[in-house]
Structure 1
Amino acid sequence: MAEAGTGAVRVEKVRGRSALTRCFARYPLKLIAPSKVGPTSCDAVWLYALTYGGGIVSGDTISCTVSVGDGCTAAITTQASTKVYKAVGSKCSEQLLEARVGEDALLAVIPDPVTCFSTARYHQKQVFQVSANSNLVVVDWFTSGRYECGEKWDFSFYKSVNHIFLGDHPLFIDSVLLEQGSNWSLAEQMQEYNVIAMVVLLGPKLKSMQELMQAEVRKLMSGQLRPPTSGGSLYTMRSQPPPRPQRPPLIASCSPFGRTGTGMVARVAAVSTELVYSFLRHHLAALEPFLEPHGDEVLKRPDVGLSSTRVRQDGLHVGATRGNGAEAGWGWKLDGAMDESRAEETNGQKRRTIMEGVGDGET
């Protein structure tokens, strides 16, 4: 097994403001905290979790602990989708996150999606320890793979586990498992849908967001799932059976959790990554007051600064660019973070070459 990549992050109040007091990462994990944080009115720490070469090699284990102190605000995101390269034998790629969110604190975990290559094996676990009035946003989502290259639900194993605890009491326990079966393949079961997403909102600061999202999703789905009606008299004999309702390009549902409904989980399935990005941008727009100025870039000017990933002819992601492209992004990726990422590209070139061989060749 490859050497485990371990990270540790601590955010605390320093002179009345959220500040990063500890940030440690070991290969293959890289944590970037942009120094360009905008005006002094911004009280949020932003972190970008990267890997050398932009993906996770078979057998890698990346673990990270995060502590957000009382009254602090922090956001963890990525600069592009997390690629999981082809498995070597039965080796699994793993990511583990343990986070503690203090009193009246806010933690937003808002990465780009996970994309598993053909035959990849991936396991992710995230455990959050919260207080009675902590606030938490978790976006956990993945795609069918490099479906434009013909790899659609072609990975071998995917498992994602999310646990939220209030003290010793479990508030939210969720597990998603996809594995190739002997009778039905994943592609046959998922049909035309290429993206699966889950959004968790928890805490008093996010209550209005929860209520608005539930109302809008209910309205959206009531219109999309309504069966088609035909004109004519009620007494007209039908020569053909009524048409079946077509599957909408995006399906969503919301449900509360917790004893008093303090949390909400939304689940989304869509035919394209762009549809889910649009859904998330719209429904998470209310985070802007907590996370600006970064959120301001995507929420007020969604047509400017959208990040994308340049794709080679063989489908391998090789670099980040600005503007609309092969893969739409959150849009809140700062130039400062991208400059630091480019500085690390030379150091990660050897690892990138290895991963390209694993991703493109036979294992």
Structure 2
Amino acid sequence: MIPSLIYPGHGIISCRIPSTSTKPAFSTFAASYPLKFLSPRTHSPSLAAVYLLSYGGGLVSGDSITIDIECHPGVNLMLLTQGSTKVFKRRPRTVRSDAMKDMKDVKDVKQKRTEQRLNVKVYSNALIMQLPEPTTCFRGADYKQRQVFRLEDDTASAMILDWFTSGRMSRGERWEFMRYESGIDLLVGENMVFRDVVLLHDQHKNGHENELDLSSTKNMDVKTMLHPYECFATLLLYGPRVFPLAEDILGEFKKITLHKSSKLMGLLWSVSVIYRRETAGTEESMRGIVVKVAGTTTEMVRNFLNNVCLRGLDDLVGENLFARGI
């Protein structure tokens, strides 16, 4: 069950099929500042969609966002964003009492990082499609997000896209944020079937010497490690509803011929299969896939997602609103 009350930075969505209709409808649809939800009209009778937005076009330093979502039996729910999720620079908070008259009495208090959490419950025979635009962290941003998807049973399905860019490339910013952390948990019943965490930060930018530093082993900063790629994506497909898409992607991947080459490839991708054993002693069966993508441009990654990974989405739910955002 999702909470019945909302607090600042909190949103609640519950989507179900009413007893008097076959089209999904929202029984709960509420958000508080800085969150905002919009539900566009869909042409498909089996699809509901929500745009998850924030006032000001992005998340500012210290924002803490939590979104709780329920996708009830038989519902197809697509979650989208309008434009990339922008994360602004981490800034100190100025504290000054009314009694303070001298600027020397003003103190800067370190602000917490910007955080966002998505909690999704998917019931039997339902399909959740989390298809946002990429996250773009500005110079000096400090961002952490966690997405937790709980499938009620093996009949529930999920399509989860998590991708991010190097920053405001038009302004010459490439991997200049302070810290980026993003995690996905997928559970079926009480069993964890998938967990993925991406953590990028340079030790010299934030001074957190005891934290995991991806660049410390080779004495390289993030920009050097990831060059020349500017956009990375993780796409998770799990459950019977998305099995046809997963099979198509896996078929495309098997066509690739691996060979050594000195030529830089503009786009790299790989597929890993998620297996699960039905009962003790039985063979493991494919339940889903994880696609990892790296591209030298955001457009290249987007085109790959639309033309290879999601090209059958219209047949699946009647509309691909993610592709229409191009």
TM-score between both structures, scaled by the size of structure 2 = 0.81
2:48 corresponds in structure 1 to 45
Q: Percent identity?
A: 33
Identify if the C-alpha distance between structure 1 residues 247 and 294 changes in structure 2 by more than 3 Å, giving closer, same or farther.
closer
Greater shift after overlay, 255-264 or 5-14?
255-264
Shift of 1:53: 1.2
Shift of 1:263: 1.4
Q: Distance in 1 between matches of 2:319 and 2:200?
A: 37
Where in structure 2 are the equivalents of 1:138-177 lying within 5 Å? 138-177=160-199
Instruction: Note if 1:227 corresponds to 2:227.
Output: no
Q: Could you tell me which amino acid in structure 1 is paired with residue 156 of structure 2?
A: S
Shift of 1:216: 1.1
1:344 corresponds in structure 2 to none
Shift of 1:226: 2.2
1:191 corresponds in structure 2 to 227
2:11 corresponds in structure 1 to 7
Greater shift after overlay, 208-217 or 171-180?
208-217
2:315 corresponds in structure 1 to 289
Q: Could you tell me which amino acid in structure 1 is paired with residue 241 of structure 2?
A: K
2:131 corresponds in structure 1 to 110
Deviations 1:19-41 (A, max 9, x none): 1111010000000012x323xx5
Q: Could you tell me which amino acid in structure 2 is paired with residue 129 of structure 1?
A: R
Deviations 1:260-312 (A, max 9, x none): 220110000110000111011112121113433454x94xxxxxxx6xxxxxx
Shift of 1:157: 0.4
1:128 corresponds in structure 2 to 149
Where in structure 2 are the equivalents of 1:241-320 lying within 5 Å? 245-259=262-276, 260-282=285-307, 283-295=309-321, 298=323
Identify if the C-alpha distance between structure 1 residues 250 and 294 changes in structure 2 by more than 3 Å, giving closer, same or farther.
closer
Where in structure 2 are the equivalents of 1:11-22 lying within 5 Å? 11-14=15-18, 15-22=21-28
Q: Could you tell me which amino acid in structure 1 is paired with residue 247 of structure 2?
A: E
Instruction: Note if 1:63 corresponds to 2:66.
Output: yes
Q: Is the 8 A contact 2:313 2:320 kept in 1?
A: no
Q: Could you tell me which amino acid in structure 2 is paired with residue 74 of structure 1?
A: L
Q: Distance in 2 between matches of 1:46 and 1:114?
A: 20
Q: Distance in 2 between matches of 1:254 and 1:181?
A: 31
1:238 corresponds in structure 2 to none
Deviations 1:56-102 (A, max 9, x none): 00100111011000111100001100100001145311110000111
Q: Is the 8 A contact 2:59 2:88 kept in 1?
A: yes
Deviations 1:169-211 (A, max 9, x none): 1010111100113432110110100001000001112112111
Q: Is the 8 A contact 2:313 2:319 kept in 1?
A: no
Q: Distance in 2 between matches of 1:291 and 1:87?
A: 39
Deviations 1:80-132 (A, max 9, x none): 00100001145311110000111111100000000000010000000001021
Identify if the C-alpha distance between structure 1 residues 209 and 294 changes in structure 2 by more than 3 Å, giving closer, same or farther.
closer
Aligned CA RMSD, in angstroms, stands at: 1.7
Shift of 1:150: 1.3
- Which is bigger in relative contact order (C-alpha 8 A, separation at least 6)? 1
Shift of 1:148: 2.4
Instruction: Note if 1:81 corresponds to 2:84.
Output: yes
2:39 corresponds in structure 1 to 33
Q: Distance in 2 between matches of 1:141 and 1:149?
A: 20
Q: Distance in 1 between matches of 2:316 and 2:250?
A: 21
1:357 corresponds in structure 2 to none
Runs of 5+ in structure 1 lacking a partner?
229-244, 299-305, 307-329, 332-363
Q: Distance in 1 between matches of 2:319 and 2:127?
A: 16
Q: Is the 8 A contact 1:18 1:44 kept in 2?
A: yes
Q: Distance in 1 between matches of 2:320 and 2:72?
A: 21
Q: Distance in 2 between matches of 1:106 and 1:169?
A: 19
Q: Distance in 2 between matches of 1:266 and 1:294?
A: 19
More helix by share: 1
Greater shift after overlay, 116-125 or 177-186?
177-186
Q: Distance in 2 between matches of 1:106 and 1:97?
A: 16
